[in-house]
Homo-oligomer: A and B are copies of this chain.
Amino acid sequence: MYYIGIDLGGTHMAAGVVDENGHIYATAETPTQAKRPYAEIIRDMAATAKAAMEKAGVAEEQIESIGIGIPGVADTDGNVIFCTNLGWRDIPLRKELQQYIQKPVYIDNDATVAGWAEYQAGVSRGTNSSVFLTLGTGVGAGIVINGHIWSGRHGVASELGHTTIVKDGVQCTCGKKGCMERYCSATAIIRMAKEACAVQPENAMMTACGGDAEKINAKVVFDAAKAGDPIAANVFEEYIQYLTIAVNNVVSFLDPDIIVLGGGVSKAGDFLLNALKENMPHYLMYPTLPMPELALASLGNDAGIVGAALLGRV
């Protein structure tokens, strides 16, 4: 049997035909054009899925189920509660999609889906419990407990990016202050770097950006820090302090087998992972506390399609 995975993003949607081992046979992609009525977007989701099936030479009868990763939150009845990038609130996604393809439809948050992909076919395969953190524009998370996705009673669990780590801290896009994603996302690194450059503009980050602080991104900061620039190293150090707090909060809360770092920031690789590992003992309840394995995500962009597809794999 095969599974369809759809990765619904704010700018593009991608669909893929996937087998039970997470192997992708074919994919198709379409612009989301987020401002359209939701019915049109969902119609195109079905069309993109069918295009991927055609490319893969797989018939509808061979499809077990369809899974969708959304940049938002869905309830257990297949409705999207909210999806900020698309401006969606209470959208009957499952029901609409089943007009075009009569298969079971599973929907979950995109970070949850990526964490599920790592559990089914990536770095956390073979574990019993895992927490996946996607460190990108924001911070998302995916929780697996006893081999099952945990999305909570109302589907709104694993929003770790919106746990508070700094009371009255930096204003978050969600309306609250001091949310973890304001300190642990790529956006946070850029903010910290810009703040540092405003005070001390003579540094390798500014050189790399031709003197334009607006061009700073997370990679610029990591590259400069790796190369030994002291200002960039301070920014990196500041970021690691916050990331360690966030990761320790996961340990203190759930103590899973493994905590996986994904998203754009995780492309810094071992430079990031090793700094985090070295700093962890300072934030644990006591330095020798047994703690989860820390690892980098292994599936990259495929995780969205693979994880969505395997939502249907019981």
Listed in ascending order, the chain A residues whose CB lies under 8 Å from chain B are: 75, 81-82, 128-129, 143, 145-146, 148, 150-160, 162-167, 169, 174-176, 241-242, 245, 248-249, 251-257, 283, 285-286, 289-292
Contacts and interface: CB of A to CB of B under 8 A. Distances in A.
Contact of A290 (B154, B174, B175): B154
Give the secondary structure class of A's interface: loop
Contacts of A153: 128-129, 255-257, 292
Contacts of A245: 164, 167
Given A146-B148, A159-B253, 7 more contacts: A81-B289, A82-B286, A145-B146, A150-B254, A159-B252, A163-B253, A164-B245
A309 to B, nearest CB: 24
A165 to B, nearest CB: 6
A157 B249 contact: no
Nearest to A248: B164
15 contacts: A75-B290, A143-B254, A152-B254, A152-B255, A153-B292, A154-B255, A154-B291, A156-B289, A162-B285, A163-B248, A165-B165, A165-B167, A167-B241, A175-B285, A176-B285
Contacts of A283: 164, 176
A35 B176 CA distance: 47
A115 to B, nearest CB: 14
B249 A164 contact: yes
B128 A252 contact: no
Contacts of A169: 167
A246 B179 CA distance: 12
A45 B289 CA distance: 27
Contact of A252 (B160, B252, B289, B291): B160
A255 B163 contact: no
Smallest CB-CB A-B distances: 9 pairs: A152-B255, A157-B255, A154-B290, A163-B249, A159-B252, A164-B245, A153-B257, A156-B255, A163-B252
